[in-house]
Amino acid sequence: MKPKRQPEDRKVYRSVKNFALSVGVSEQRATESKLKAKLVAAIRREIKLCEISHAEVAHLAGVARTNITGIISGSVSSVTLDRLVRIATALGLSLDLRIHKSA
């Protein structure tokens, strides 16, 4: 059995830039990963809520079913943001983007 993780084991970063520096990736890559994670979470929630099949989502978004299955299973490294946006909007989700100066 895996030991339960204590809250003090978590590190909270003040910005994407700080996180990126700590894990050795560019700030741009970290920001893109954060956006992808948020989109994938919203897509997963909507698919579950609507009880829609991966094939139906694929048809609505105009992508292959294997793309949807991969995204849902967490394989998003090769998936572009525009594809995730296309899938989200095909599911009836709207997106708002806030842009502000980095800390």
What's residue 19's pLDDT?
A: 74
Q: How confident is the model at residue 22 (pLDDT cuts 50, 70, 90)?
A: confident
> Structural domains in the chain?
43-94 (1.10.260.40)
pTM over 0.85: no
Q: What would the DSSP string read from start to end of 42-100?
A: HHHHHHHHHT--HHHHHHHHTS-HHHHHHHHTT--TT--HHHHHHHHHHTT--------
Digit-coded pLDDT (tens) for 33-90? 888 889 999 999 999 999 999 999 999 999 999 999 988 888 877 888 999 999 999 9
Across 11-39, average pLDDT: 80
Tokens of 33: 């990963």
